[in-house]
Structure 1
Amino acid sequence: MSVEGVYLAGTGLACALGNDLASSMASVARGGVSPTPVAISQGVQWPVFMLPPQDGSWTERLEHTVRSVAAQAGEGAGGRSGPLFVASSSLDIGDMEHEAQDLRLGGDLQDFAGLVARALDWQGPVFTISTACTSALNAVLAACDFIRCGEADEALVIGAELGNRFTVAGFGAMQLLSPDAARPFGAGRNGLVLGEAVAALRLGSRAARWRIGGGSDVVDGRNPSGTEASAVVAMCRGALSQSGLSPQDIDLIKVQAAGSPVNDAIEVQALKQVFDTLPPLVSLKSLLGHTLGASGAAELALLVACIEAGAWPSTGYAIDGELGIALSLQAPAKLRNILFNVVGFGGGHASLVLEDCTA
């Protein structure tokens, strides 16, 4: 039996802003937090938006944080028989660095999802989604398919990126990191700043405030580490088409905008091909950094929380005038349909439409 709608039934988040959504909202109201320098080797360090410090091993911190965000999302023991989608880019590399000392940085792709499932005592099917930075958004799209086709009434998506030097060193070696700050669409943007986050999205068929509309995943690998304008156009139009909406119906776009001098400009160019007049834009990476495979879940949880709490990210830097855009300084007065975009390594371009059913 198919279902007509999939709704966001609950959210949870732990990120640099705080260990839960309430503390994260308080941090947003204060203007955010600063990244922490992470030493990669002698004399080499990069800023990272790190989770607040916790006691215990890498695995113990993961288990504690996963349980916390799942509880925030309202995931009780009785609901753990449905599908669990675990989304990550770095997976358990941090465990190999800190605990196992496994310098191969290899293993079974499902090992990390197994850690998450055991932390939750999960009884249902468990899936790993690892498609670089689009992982969590693709996990949401997969969970929606499960619910729409009647295979489950609820599903849980966990997006997780925990600290490891391997990922930071890799991005640094590719000269993609900023040495100081994240400035999405900024005049002085000079690279992205990575971030840690664990987020939970509980999806279900029962009506709630937020409905997941259509979505789209477009893979174009011509530029493995960059954004392709044609793919951005295709993902936006695909999500709109599946939602039965036109560009004029979108009231806000959550952009990718990681702070890359080139990719930010390509994203703006592509959005202007889809929208004759751009709706208000919001970027979240100056608050929590680029959380890679977790970003689709972490930024969705944070955006919904900002709207519900009446908080809004402050920019705090000048926007690049050559882009011909602005980031919204407050939530739009009319806000029903949100286009939520994520772009990642390997040519992944994913988008979904989020509808506020109370608007």
Structure 2
Amino acid sequence: MSEVPGVFLAGIGLACALGDDMPSALAALGRGGVSPMPVEVADGVRWPVYKLAAQDGDWMQRLRAGVRKVVAQTGDWGPRTAPLFVASSSLDIGFMERAPQDQRLGGGLQDFADAVAGAIDWQGPVFTVSTACTSALNALLAAADMVRAGEPQALVIGIEPDNRFTVAGFGAMQLLAPESARPFGAGRKGLVLGEAVAALRLGSKPARWQLMGGSNVVDGRNPSGTEAGAVRAMCHEALSRSGLRPGDIDLVKVQAAGSPVNDAIEVEALRQVFAPLPPLVSLKSAIGHTLGAAGAAELALLVGCVEGGVWPQVGYPIDESLGISLCTQPPRALKHVLLNVVGFGGGHASLVLKDCEA
């Protein structure tokens, strides 16, 4: 029996509120980060959003230019015939807001992915993954399966473009913080949304970062919140598929969006998996909650932080009742990282990332 090939990160691209590429993002993070910008969703109604840098052109032109720049950061592809996974929650709702006619009942789910593929002249098969906030992580799991099945490479693009519809919806559900995101913070009031484009190039050729096992657990009992049982299940399943035990994890990238209730549920569930808790890191106070792009954008930024020697700082007090802290520097021994993402509809996804140079 032939050995199942490993799956490795062959290239990373990122544009977020911190910057249009990894060096500029890390530089901004090292200076203390950036502030969210107000987005007006109705007369007199504004919510903070971690926005991408302003670009010329209409919505579709900005989308295509942004995708091209980020994918270029992943290296020279040559013939672009590998599988492409486009992960997003809001898809093309921003374009629909600006279209001359309301097209929300027309077109198909694949239209947005086709527009992304067209921007980079992609010739291979194109897939849409839209499972709310777990979209990009689920796309990574699917792309990794393809590489294990024999595809030499695959590309995952997590993308959350600008739009007012999503901001208005989260605001109407009273889920947004009025000023800034404070994951696990004292007096936290909700999440702050963010825009991002992230590209992850997966391949079977050994590299520093290996994608190990992952998990997607759906528990719809609380369709807009975190379920402790699902958090425990996704962690255990990701560990099992990676051949690891809880004590092997050196760092957990938490969901921690700033919800008063969900943050507390996540901490309690993690305590039931890990004893003691490994170091925890949150990235949403730096780039916001990038929804469908979060799994790719936060993985890319975390890898950039480790490699670049820059680490997100916590500029607010942590809720003492949680009994935890967020690490302000990478752990000295960092080999296995668990990345967790939780989303609407009961989606709970997890992935183990291994540093092969540790």
What does the per-residue CA deviation read over 1:312-352, in whole Å, with 9 as the maximum and x for residues that have no partner?
00110000000010000100000000000000000000000
Name the count of aligned residue pairs: 357
SS of alignment partner, residue 14 of structure 2: strand
For structure 1, which segment, 157-166 or 100-109, has the greater mean C-alpha deviation from structure 2 after superposition? Answer: 100-109
In structure 2, relative to structure 1, the CA distance for the partners of 1:82 and 1:230 (3 Å cut) is same
**Separation (CA, whole Å) in 2 of partners of 1:9 and 1:297:** 14
What does the per-residue CA deviation read over 1:287-311, in whole Å, with 9 as the maximum and x for residues that have no partner?
0000000000000000000000000
Q: Does 1:31 align with 2:32?
A: yes
Q: Deviation of residue 188 (structure 1)?
A: 1.6
For 1:145, the equivalent position in structure 2 comes to 145
Q: Deviation of residue 107 (structure 1)?
A: 3.0
**Separation (CA, whole Å) in 2 of partners of 1:162 and 1:311:** 26
Q: Deviation of residue 75 (structure 1)?
A: 4.5
State whether residues 16 and 52 of structure 2, in contact with CA within 8 Å, keep that contact through their aligned partners in structure 1. Answer: yes
What does the per-residue CA deviation read over 1:104-143, in whole Å, with 9 as the maximum and x for residues that have no partner?
3653000000000000100000000000000000000000
For 1:254, the equivalent position in structure 2 comes to 253
For 1:3, the equivalent position in structure 2 comes to 4
Q: Does 1:131 align with 2:139?
A: no
Q: Deviation of residue 2 (structure 1)?
A: 6.0
Structure 1: runs of 5+ lacking an equivalent: none
**Separation (CA, whole Å) in 2 of partners of 1:341 and 1:125:** 28
For 2:22, the equivalent position in structure 1 comes to 21
For 2:217, the equivalent position in structure 1 comes to 218
The one-letter code matched in structure 2 to 1:107 is: G
For 1:265, the equivalent position in structure 2 comes to 264
Q: Deviation of residue 76 (structure 1)?
A: 2.5
Over aligned residues, Cα RMSD in angstroms? Answer: 1.0
For 1:347, the equivalent position in structure 2 comes to 346
SS of alignment partner, residue 252 of structure 2: strand
What does the per-residue CA deviation read over 1:56-98, in whole Å, with 9 as the maximum and x for residues that have no partner?
01111110111111111114232x1010000000000001112
**Separation (CA, whole Å) in 2 of partners of 1:205 and 1:188:** 45
State whether residues 252 and 337 of structure 1, in contact with CA within 8 Å, keep that contact through their aligned partners in structure 2. Answer: yes
Structure 2: runs of 5+ lacking an equivalent: none
**Separation (CA, whole Å) in 2 of partners of 1:235 and 1:95:** 35
For 1:301, the equivalent position in structure 2 comes to 300
For 1:286, the equivalent position in structure 2 comes to 285
For 2:78, the equivalent position in structure 1 comes to 77
For 1:41, the equivalent position in structure 2 comes to 42
For 1:68, the equivalent position in structure 2 comes to 69
The one-letter code matched in structure 1 to 2:248 is: D
SS of alignment partner, residue 267 of structure 1: helix
For structure 1, which segment, 32-41 or 98-107, has the greater mean C-alpha deviation from structure 2 after superposition? Answer: 98-107
Normalised TM-score (structure 2):
0.98
State whether residues 96 and 105 of structure 1, in contact with CA within 8 Å, keep that contact through their aligned partners in structure 2. Answer: no
SS of alignment partner, residue 261 of structure 1: coil
Q: Deviation of residue 43 (structure 1)?
A: 1.2
Normalised TM-score (structure 1):
0.98
SS of alignment partner, residue 158 of structure 2: strand
In structure 2, relative to structure 1, the CA distance for the partners of 1:116 and 1:323 (3 Å cut) is same
Q: Does 1:90 align with 2:90?
A: yes
For 2:56, the equivalent position in structure 1 comes to 55
Give identity over the alignment, percent.
Answer: 70
